[in-house]
Chains A and B, each alone.
Chain A
Amino acid sequence: MTAGGSTPKLVIRVVVLALGAALLEIVAVSQISVFGVNADLTPLVVMSIGLLTGSVSGAAAGFGMGLFLDLALVQTLGLQSLIYTVIGYAAGRIRELRDPQGAIVPLAAGAVATAIATIGYSIVQFLLGVDAPVSFLLVRDILTTIVFNTVLAVPVFAVARRWLTPALPDDPARRRRRAYTTGGLSPLSRA
Chain B
Amino acid sequence: MSSENTPAITPSSVSDTDSALHPVEPGINRSTLLKFGAATAWGTAVAMGAAVSPVSAAGVPRAHGRFTASAVPLPGVLDLYINEGYTKMVDDSLVYQRGFGDRPTALRDARPSLRVVPKIFTREGQVVESRTYPLGAAIPPNGTPAPAGADPANPGQFFIRRNHWASFFPQRTIIVESGATVRLRVFNGLAGTHQLTVAQAAHGRSDLSTGPIAPGGQALLEFDAPYAGTYIYYDPTNAPVQRALGLFGTILVMDPDDPWRVAPNQMAFERQWLWMTHAIDTTWARIEAAGGTVNPLTDPAVPRYFMLNDRSGYEALGHSPNRELNRLAHEESLISGYPRQVDIRNFGEDLALGTLRGGQAVRMVNPGIASHQMHFHGNHLWTVRRNNVEWPREFGHVDADGHVVLQQWEDVIELPPMDRKDCIIPLKRPPDATDKVWYNRTEDWKYPMHCHAEMSQTAAGGMYPGGLVAHWELKSQVNGG
Do A and B interact with each other, yes or no? Answer: no
Which residues of A are at the interface with B, using a C-beta cutoff of 8 A?
none
Residues of B within 8 A of A (CB): none
